[in-house]
Every structure is written in structure tokens, then in C-alpha cells.
Amino acid sequence: MAMKPKVRLWSALLMALGVSSVPTAGNGENPPVSIYDFTVNDIDGKPAPLSEFRGKVLLVVNVASRCGFTYQYEGLESIYREYKERGFVVLGFPSNDFLGQEPGTNKQIKEFCTLTYGVTFPMFGKIVVKGRDIHPLYRYLTAGGTNGEFAGHITWNFNKFLIGREGRTLARLGTREEPTTDTVIEAVKAALGS
């Protein structure tokens, strides 16, 4: 079934802006029902369907390189390495929405994360996580109609959404909830065990 002109125009506009996030479910007009319905650009600019992570437990985090919480990259990498064999993946989404704390290009961000923190978990292209130009993925994650009790604005860098194997949000964790705290670890282990 061909896309309708309005949907095709929206898709072309998103791609021109470097935002690849067209729902893949149904005919392109159905609202997304899980995180797997999105395609985003990876840190190298290549389209990456989040459906590739179907069946895994995900920790979706908006990250920044010049934030007082940037050190959390170390903890994120640590829990990723600890639990990845059990089906756990950290997904990093750089954002410059809080006091310009992620001003670099995707190439600079990738280099910083790799060289400074040895990041091996999947990183994606810089996106907007709040406001009028919010990326559709983060609109989905923060909207009451799609994410119920876990809805609400992103408050700062390193907000975290724990997504279960079925693509639904299981927990939302704030910036100050560090990746290696008992709260995060227990939530990850519970999600992996389910």
C-alpha cells in the first residue's frame, strides 16, 4: 500500500532534517504502540529500526558530553557489559536541550564517548527531547496518551526509561538515579527475568 501524500511529505521532511522516525506499523498513519515502531538515525547517520531490539530489555537515556552527570556514561557502559549477554541494551540519545551541554557533532560525540568512557553500547544521532521540536520517539516516551504513568517532560540529561521485552515502559528513572544503583540494577534484573 502506497503512502498518502501527506505522510510521504512528512517522511521526506523528517529525513531532510536528519530525523528518521517514521512509524513502521500499519499504513504509516497508525500511532506507534511500542518503541519498536520507530526508526532513528544511529550516531553515524544510518537509519536504525528500533525493531532490531525486539525481545531485549532496553534502557533509553538522553545523554550529554558536558554535563555534571556525564560521568554516568561509565555506569551505563558497566551495566551494559554486565547484562548484555542476558538481552540488555543501553540506547544513548545525545541531546543539546539543557544549557547547550551537547554542542558537538555526532562524530565528535562518538569520539568523546569512545575515547573517554569506552562506550560500546548503541549511540544514536543527536535529537531534541523536549519542547516544540521534540523528536517523535521522545514525544511517544513522554506523552500521557502513549506512555501513561511514565509520561512527563524530560527534566535534564540522563533521564532513563526502562523498556521491557515487549516494547513497553516498565520504569522511569531520573537523572540522579545513577546506572549502578541498587534501584536501577534491581529493575534491570527484574525485567530480564520476566
Active site residues: 67
Q: What's the pLDDT score for residue 103?
A: 95
Q: Alpha helix locations (H) across the chain?
A: 5-16, 72-83, 106-117, 136-142, 144-147, 182-193
Rounded-to-integer distance, Cα 106 and Cα 188, Å: 28
Alpha carbons within 13 angstroms on the beta-carbon side of residue 50 total 33
How much is the pTM?
0.84
Is 4 part of any domain? no
Range of the domain at 103: 52-193
Is 47 part of any domain? no
Burial annotation 150-172 (CB, 10 A radius, 16+ → b, else e): beeebebbbbbbbbbbebebbbb
Check whether 7 has a pLDDT greater than 60.
no
Instruction: Find the range with the poorest average confidence among 145-154, 170-179, 180-189.
Output: 145-154
Write the CATH number for 169: 3.40.30.10
Give the H/E segment covering residue 39.
strand 39-41
Q: Which of 44, 102, 115, 91 is nearest to 69 (CA)?
A: 102
Would you tell me how many other CB atoms lie within 10 Å of the CB of residue 26? Answer: 12
Is 31 part of any domain? no
More confident residue, 23 or 188: 188
Reduced to 3 states (helix: H, G, I; strand: E, B; else coil), residue 56 is coil
Is 34 part of any domain? no
DSSP 182: H
Number of domains in the chain: 1
pLDDT cut 70: percent of the chain above it = 84
Q: From residue 182, how far is each of 6, 56, 79, 188 by CA, in Å?
A: 47, 21, 12, 10
Reduced to 3 states (helix: H, G, I; strand: E, B; else coil), residue 85 is helix
Q: What's the pLDDT score for residue 20?
A: 41
Is 152 part of any domain? yes
Is 28 part of any domain? no
Is 2 part of any domain? no
Is 162 part of any domain? yes
